[in-house]
A and B are shown apart, each in its own frame.
Chain A
Amino acid sequence: MASGEEDGTVEEKETNNKKRTKGTIATAWLTFYNIAMTAGWLVLAVAMVRYYLQKGTHKGLYRNIARTLKFFQTFALLEVGHCAIGIVRTSVIVTGVQVCSRIFMVWFVTNSIRQIQNEESVILFVVVWTITEITRYSFYTFNLLNHLPYFIKWARYNMFIVMYPLGVIGELLTIHASLPYVRRSGMYSLRLPNKYNVSFDYYYFLIIVMLSYIPCKNSTHNKTS
């Protein structure tokens, strides 16, 4: 019937409009998010360069940038949400593992074990992360704006060849440096006897984490994202 058909097309138009609006909102949000993250990591980069130029040493540099680093790295948890609601076409698990590995490094190693904060390995991985993240977030931004400069595209697909192994080395050396302090303090650990009949040794846990870098950091899905 005529009126029935009209209703049908009106409904179709409405759902199509809704889809288009959702798509526009998603694109707008993602563009804002990626610009903000690019800016954040740029601020971090500038702060590190300024500190080094002023003080001439890397000692105390971590303490200086710690708050900014923690803020922007933790904010990246949102990316798991982006995948979960489908506005970014990447696996939730892959993104989750990557973000968690960063969060672990920042909060459970570097932040909580003060004695290693002046290690060179810390500066190494923070510099690597900064370069990688500025490249990555600006790549996403330009993609969303449909104007991708060749330089950014080149950087995104080629820098990781050097950055990735350097980052892994920085992280591994940092965890390794923290081991004696973890052992001595017994932090994050639970000894027997206790009423839950379980124990946890953070020292051995960190060793297992270091060993797991071999299979985990070698897997193909880590190599570009």
Chain B
Amino acid sequence: MGHVEILDAKTKDKLCFLDKVEPNATIGEIKSMFHKSHPQWYPARQSIRLDPKGKSLKDEDVLQHLPVGTTATFYFRDLGAQISWVTVFLTEYAGPLLIYLMFYFRVPFIYAPKYDFTTSKHWVVHLACMCHSFHYVKRLLETLFVHRFSHGTMPLRNIFKNCTYYWGFAAWMAYYINHPLYTPPIYGEQQIRLALIVFLFCQIGNFSIHIALRNLRPPGSKTRKIPYPTKNPFTWIFLLVSCPNYTYELGSWLGFTLMTQCLPVAAFTLVGFIQMTVWAKGKHRSYLKEFRDYPTLRSPILPFIL
């Protein structure tokens, strides 16, 4: 039977003393106990560490396996208001879906009144709406049924930042694609057909990767394993790339850029590519650190290049 004291990481004030804690108690359980004495700090916003400036301990860590004596001293940092990843994803993806449709149907006060509720005469505009909507419906369904998240929550301010990004870009793109003065692609049907093939190929690819990653992890667990190619040919790209979901995502948006020939779409693709490259490099580095036998042929996001 041990004791646990929790101090504020900044002020070193004693915030909580828990006596008679089971040696096999987890950090998660200790967080719940701490929450009882400080109801404003629910477990998701607690960061518990051994060292005031150290890394956060995981919920699964067990008390007796930590380098502490009979009285364990932990330091607490408030992570701020938290919001669940699922909530953020659903909100940031529902926005573009609805916003694009508002521009597509030419809802009043966007374009000149004589265009209200009219439809574009270019068939590529209808195709683009279908592709864009399909993409975000796919993302919403994946959030609900496919993804297995490592973290339950993220800081609340992220939802404002993320929604501004997704909703803002969606409005900017949709405004021009659905504009009465829209100019269809220079190379016409050929360009649109190629773009559609690239887009669909990458959508299927991206979905295949999400399924493969889901199957790596049993339900409710947070285990991490090296992903490998499966029987699905779309996953064979794992031989060359650590984060093929991002590779396929880039491909989808390149397809959409080609299809719509719209500079704001190109800008969105570029910004997304930069962000995904940062994430891919981080993930690649974690894989290398965690697994001694990580395949050396793989690049983070672009085979052999990046």
Q: Which A residues lie at the B interface, using CB under 8 A?
A: 192-199
Contact = CB atoms under 8 A, between A and B. Distances in A.
B182 interface: yes
Contact of B179 (A192, A195, A196): A192
7 contacts: A193-B181, A194-B183, A195-B261, A197-B176, A197-B177, A197-B261, A197-B262
**Which of B179, B182, B186, B263 has the most chain A CB atoms inside 10 A of its CB?**
B263
Determine the interface band of chain B, counting residues with CB < 8 A from chain A. Answer: 10 to 19
B264 interface: yes
B181 A196 contact: no
B299 interface: no
B262 A193 contact: no
B260 interface: yes
B252 to A, nearest CB: 19
Contacts of B260: 197
B186 A195 contact: yes
A196 B182 contact: no
The B contact surface, by secondary structure, is loop
A150 B241 CA distance: 61
Nearest to A194: B183
Nearest to A199: B176
A195 B266 CA distance: 13
Interface string B173-189: 00011010111001000
A195 B176 contact: no
A198 B263 contact: yes
A199 B261 CA distance: 14
Interface string B146-181: 000000000000000000000000000000110101
Nearest to B172: A198
Given A195-B261, A197-B264, A199-B176, 6 more contacts: A195-B183, A196-B263, A197-B262, A197-B263, A198-B176, A198-B263
Contacts of B177: 197
A12 B175 CA distance: 62
Interface in B248-297: 260-264
B264 A198 contact: yes
Contacts of B186: 195
A193 B263 contact: no
Ranked nearest first, the 5 interchain pairs of A and B with the lowest CB-CB distance are A198-B263, A193-B181, A197-B262, A192-B181, A196-B263
